[in-house]
Amino acid sequence: MRAFLFVFIAALVGTACDCNGGEEVEPSDAQASDLYGWWTVTEPDGTLTVFGFVPRADAPRELPVTAAEATGDISAVYRGSRGFLAEPVQLATFTVEDGEVLQTVIRDASATAGTQFRTRILALTRQRTLTLQSANAASGSRAFSWSARCPAALSHGYFEVPGQFCNAYFSSATSMVVDVRGGVHAASSVNGKEPPCAVGRLPVPTYSHFASACGPTLTQLPAFRSSAMASEGDFVHLAYQSLSSNLPEDFLLFYRTRELRGTWSEEQVAGQGHPIHQMRVLMRRGQPLILVSRTNGVIELYSRDTGSWSLVPTLLTTGGPLQGQMADATVDPAGRLVLLLEANHKLAYERAGGFELIDLPLAMATGFGGGVAVDTSGQVHVAYVYDEIGDNADGVGGRVVGGRGLYALYDGRTWTSHEAGPMAYPRLITRPEGPWRVVHALDKAARPALALTEVGRDGSLRSELITVESSFGPGNSPEPFHQFAAAMGPEGTIAATFMGNRLFIRPREDEIVREKTKLTVTIEGRGGGRVRSGDGTIDCTSTCTVDVPQGARYQLFFEPDGQSALDAFPCPTNIHALYGYCWYDVFPGLAQAPQFTVKFRQSPVASVLRVGAEDGSTTVRRLVAREGRLAVAASTTNGRFPFAGQVVNVGTATELLAVRETDGRVWAAPLPAVPDAVGLRADGTASALFFDNRGLSFPSGPAGSQTAPALVLAHYANGSFLRLERLAQLPQGTAVSAGAVGDDEAAGAVLYNGSGFGAVGVPELSLFVYRQPTGNVVLRGLDTQALAGSTNITLDSGNAAVSALTKLFTFTAGAPTGTREVANGQLQHFVLRGNQLDSSWSSFQGVLDFGGGPVRGQQSPAYFHAEHGLDLRLISASAVVRPELQYGPGSIFPGPSGPVFLTNTFRGGLQYGSLRDQGYLFTYAGDLAGNKAQPFLSDLDGNSLWVAVQNRGTVDYDVTRISSPFQTVLVQLRIP
């Protein structure tokens, strides 16, 4: 006999009965039974040779030999790489005599039938090792290792075996079952094809049976449209609807049964009927039931209790017929039927008076199917898709790419539901103990990859790959003749297939062996964060390498640190947007070790707070921030004011001042009108500045009158009015141009009167009113026209700056300290911090002089940034040269690392960045889908910039996602 020697590297599958395992046997005393099992050796190139020795009685069931060919015990030789040992290269009868294995060839690619071989046994340890003589080995012998099952699993521990004679064809109605011994049985019809099969391969319906051999036995079945299988004890049951070109023989319902070592017997169950949508064979008290769901919604039950088949009525407890599209069905421990109805979104439970319909916790998404099972305690388990996942960035809308899986448990009264993650076509399979399992596709595809996911009672998920290839045609629906099937045996073997041409088999838990590979997680970017898996295998804060089993799936969470955001990650964004995690699949057999990259970027967003209602009934008018406190002046029409997760009742007030304290407490006070400015004071109160020329009324009385307008400062605390300060009485015809309340307890306003302010001793047409931090009030005339819309004011540290058209004015304690005119410039924004004034400008002339000579821009209009001292002497000035700021830098603020800017993008997004660091740039919303984040108010608070933003649509602000048709939010941005 030819023998082959290979270096044994394959991890063998576990053992069966080890009653005599480990016992040394003298070669001369060896018997055929001492060799039963599977013996393996490998060559240095990794090629496996496997000898299988099978008892005569089991051979027709285990091997591709007929009962007539099995005149004795049978030996089989397989040769190839792991996972590709489906067909034997030799089949022979064998005996053991006087320390030799004697073989007579049945079929051999290199020898004629009847050829005989003799091979001497040199050493034998039962169910451990076998050493055979070999002239081809330098040592003169080959050493084999034993296993109960052929060690032909792929590197991730699964077997992949044929389900049809012709693997290029796809099944229209695959069904499968696992028997008590772990044998896998599948019935596959024929429909649809790729290129023609190899010569001699017929595209016929196939019965595939895989037991302990390296490949299955394949036999022909009658043509059928749909099928269902069950197994109990030593019997396999098959029901099918016939497929025939002869019309009288088409659409008939048949039943077949066979003992595991025997042959099929067949009988007709029912005559012609509508095409079958789904069908199940179920066992009740040792007798088969056939449950048929037809495409016209009719559900039929056939019973064989009396020895012949009869149609059993399926009525509801209300008396009507049970109807619908069945996705799956099972029998509970008491023998009652339980059906999962897809289009009805119901569970149908058989009771004494008929079927009770029970609402599912969520409606089923059509076209994805589902699974149902009942455990030994009587609790019902279901798994199905309840919503579709689109290919839009948020997973909602667009082309359907997958489904959202739901796992739910019904205890007879209530449902307990858990998200099962992204999946398609889920089938629930029973398990004797521990977490229940769902076999499913990874996504909606013409040929999807399959996975097995465990759902714990606490909703935790663990998953592994079944198939070794990525999905083919993701986003495409499978052809209607592709039928998904899955089964689990009582001893733990699991089997699944999507098209019937290939079957994927997972050995029981104690037999599965997976090869390891190194997974590298690369963490990049200017930010920082953590990558971890739900099971704790992966936990990296910097680039790391982890040993992982091939075929594993990891539920990955990407957690930025407190100053970072997730920028790029190795999974679809729509999945991550929906779940906050995504699955990473370690596909086996890759040429290179798996790796993925996660990028964390810096994030300027420290927090996001919602302000006001989502219906547009609230408008924020003013914003101020101080040492962690926030205040807004707002207009509202609904009597309730939501602010940062709290809601305050403002009664009939339409104008209000709302304050969020550092401890999160929120209060609000009614205002008589929209204030010209608001401020927060060091003593915990809040202030509002009003120019009153209408006779505003406060709790303390009127402030001014239409004939004698006044500038007043109202003070509030904890929702109540405290007092009113009258800063100045002003002449008739005065209008306010700008106002401010500073963090330094000062307040100020710029006013204009076409007749001048002679009544208060100021001849100019423009007036600056300044309330010092001590409470004293100073009036100063301005030699400019301080018109509303062209004027602004900023206060800080006892100083003030005023802009009016192209002029700048600065003051200390109300006394002038500097004046500067920037000819041909249009002031965009300015802010005073300490003794420095930062300002941004635009000019259509393209050149401006800020006091140090002309500064030329590079576009039209050109944009500029200038820094002046308190006396308005120039510190620096430069043109803003940033291609992304073609519409201007908007507002510019000083920061420890240089100035930052805040602006609107072309499509209504928020853009924030550094003028000096081109890598520090962030954009939120402003996309083609109409999602907007438009900043309209801002205020500095230490090294934070608070921005009031009008949010429309869905905007991801790094720390949270806001989805609303109209919502004002306060965004806290860090200043670097």
User: pLDDT, tens digit, for every residue of 400-415?
Assistant: 899 999 999 999 999 9
Q: How confident is the model at residue 949 (pLDDT cuts 50, 70, 90)?
A: very high
Radius of gyration of the chain (CA): 40
User: Would you state the pLDDT for residue 860?
Assistant: 85
Query: Quick one: tokens of 419?
Result: 């998200």
Q: How confident is the model at residue 15 (pLDDT cuts 50, 70, 90)?
A: very low
Closest by CA position to 892, among listed 906, 907, 908, 876: 876
Q: Which residues touch 591 (CB under 8 Å, ≥6 apart)?
A: none
H-run or E-run covering 623: strand 618-626
pLDDT band at 82 (very low <50, low <70, confident <90, very high): confident
Q: What is the DSSP string of 811-845?
A: EETTEEEEEEE-TT-EEEEEEEETTEEEEEEEESS
Least-confidence region, from 5-19, 74-88, 329-343: 5-19
Give the pLDDT of residue 19: 45
Confidence at 20, pLDDT banded by 50, 70, 90:
low
CA atoms within 13 A on the CB side of 663: 3
* Per-residue three-class SS string for 448-503: CCEEEEEECCCCCEEEEECCCCCCEEECCCCCCCCCCEEEECCCCCEEEECCCCEE
Kindly compute the dihedral angle of the four CA atoms of residues 966, 968, 974, 975, in this order, to the nearest 10 degrees: 100
Q: Where do the H-state alpha helices sit in 337-466?
A: none
Phi, psi at 800, each rounded to 5°: -145, 150
Please give the distance of CA 670 from its chain centroid, rounded to a whole number.
45
DSSP state letter for 180: T
Contact by Cβ (8 Å): 865, 899 = yes
Helix (H) or strand (E) holding 88: none
Contact 128, 22 (CB under 8 A): yes
ω into 861 cis (within 30 of 0): yes
Average pLDDT for 212-229: 93
The pLDDT value recorded for residue 113 is 95
Segment 256-263 long-range contacts (CB within 8 Å, at least 24 positions apart)? 257/288, 259/234, 259/235, 260/61, 260/179, 260/181, 260/183, 260/234, 260/235, 260/236, 261/57, 261/58, 261/60, 261/61, 261/234
For the cut 50, the answer to whether the pLDDT of residue 876 exceeds it is: yes
Pairwise CA distance, residues 91 & 76, whole Å = 5
Nearest 5°: the CA angle 139, 143, 146 is: 175
pLDDT (0 to 100) of residue 12: 28
Do 327 and 364 meet the contact criterion of CB atoms below 8 Å apart?
Answer: yes
Identity at 927, one-letter amino acid code: D
| Three state DSSP letters for 239-305 | EEEECCCCHHHCCCEEEEEEECCCCCEEEEEECCCCCEEEEEEEEECCEEEEEEEECCCEEEEEECC
CA 962 to chain centre: 18
Tokens of 394: 């948020």
What is the token pair recorded at 541?
């804060």
**CA neighbor of 429 nearest in space, from 379, 512, 377, 370:** 370
Return the HEC string of 903-931: EECCCCCEEEEECCCCCCEEEECCCCCCC
Neighbours of 509 (CB within 10 A): 13
The more confident residue out of 787 and 2 is 787
Instruction: Say which range, 159-173, 294-308, 514-528, has the weakest mean pLDDT.
Output: 159-173
Whether residue 802 contacts residue 809, with contact meaning beta carbons closer than 8 Å, is answered with: yes
pLDDT digit string, tens, across residues 553-586:
999 999 999 899 999 889 888 899 899 999 999 9
**pLDDT at position 194:** 72
Task: Output the average pLDDT for the chain.
Answer: 92
Q: What share of the chain is helix, strand, coil (3-state, %, to 5)?
A: 5, 55, 45
> Which of 42-46, 466-470, 710-714, 924-928 is predicted with the least confidence, judged by mean pLDDT?
42-46
H or E, element range at 4? none
DSSP state of 60: H
Angle at 553 between CA 550 and CA 555, to 5 degrees: 150
How is 744-781 classified by DSSP, letter by letter? TS-EEEEEE-TT-BGGGTB-SSEEEEEE-TTS-EEEEE
DSSP label of 570 = S
Can you tell me the mean pLDDT for 13-20? Answer: 39
Q: Measured in whole angstroms, how far is the alpha carbon of residue 476 from the centre of its chain? A: 19
- The 10 Å Cβ neighbour count of residue 545 is 13
Give the torsion through C-alpha atoms of 946, 951, 956, 961, to 10 deg. Answer: 100
Higher-pLDDT residue of 470, 815: 815
701-702 vs 74-80, strand pairing mode: unpaired
| Contact in structure between 456 and 398 (CB atoms under 8 Å) | no
Q: Which residues pair with 954 in a beta bridge?
A: 963
Reading the block at residue 301, the tokens are 């039950």
Return the exposure string of 700-729: e unless at least 16 CB atoms fall within 10 Å of the residue's CB, then b. eeebbeeeebbbbbbbbeebebeebbebbe
pLDDT of residue 24: 94
Q: In the prediction, which pLDDT does 171 show?
A: 86
Residue 592 confidence class, pLDDT cut points 50, 70, 90: confident
Max CA pair span of the chain: 133
Return the number of other C-beta atoms located less than 10 Å from residue 599's C-beta.
18
User: Could you tell me the two tokens for 6?
Assistant: 């290979």
b/e for 610-649, b at 16 or more Cβ within 10 A? Answer: bbbbbeeebebbbbbbbeebbbbbbbbeeeebbbbeeebe
pLDDT (average), residues 934-954: 96
Distance of alpha carbon 389 from alpha carbon 767, whole angstroms: 62
In sequence order, the β-bridge partners of residue 667 are 659
What per-residue confidence (pLDDT) applies to 801? Answer: 97
Distance of CA 143 to the CA centre of its chain: 50
- Bridge partner list, 366: none
Residues sharing a CB contact under 8 Å with residue 975, sequence separation 6 or more, in sequence order: 893, 895, 896, 900, 940, 943, 944, 945
> Which two structure tokens, joined as six digits, stand for 140?
């003169």
Whether residue 428 contacts residue 382, with contact meaning beta carbons closer than 8 Å, is answered with yes
Q: Are 282 and 175 in contact (CB under 8 A)?
A: no
- What are the φ/ψ torsions at residue 284 (nearest 5 degrees)? -135, 115
Mean pLDDT of 445-470: 93
